[in-house]
Amino acid sequence: MNENRDGKSPETAFIVRSTGEYTPEMRAVVNRVYGGNDDSYFVLSETTLDNRKDKKRYKVLFLEDKDSVKHTVYFEIG
């Protein structure tokens, strides 16, 4: 298992406790990685991904940072 949890793919997704909603725990991770507060990025959209092979669920956020760079961030829902 890859221990480099950077949220850039399902394999390296941040692990969070959630029912699939965008939670304060996820917001705290995004704030830490993308600038420190909610003004440093904009959530363009979000979705929930079910992986049939390993039966894991992911919350996927599509963000744009303050520099207009787009990012996809994966959270493994545990």
Res 3 pLDDT > 90 = no
Find residue 77's DSSP bridge partners.
16, 57
Domain assignment of residue 5, yes or no: no
Res 2 pLDDT > 50 = no
For range 23-32, the mean pLDDT: 91
Domain assignment of residue 2, yes or no: no
Q: CA neighbours within 13 Å on the CB side: how many for 39?
A: 0
pLDDT of 11 reads 92
What does 18-60 look like in DSSP terms, one character per residue?
-SSS--HHHHHHHHHHHTSSGGGEEEEEEEEEEETTTTEEEEE
Domain assignment of residue 50, yes or no: yes
Range scoring the smallest mean pLDDT among 2-6, 12-16, 19-23: 2-6
Question: One-letter amino acid identity for 16?
Answer: V
Q: What domain count does the chain have?
A: 1
Q: Range of 59's domain? A: 10-77
For range 48-63, the mean pLDDT: 93
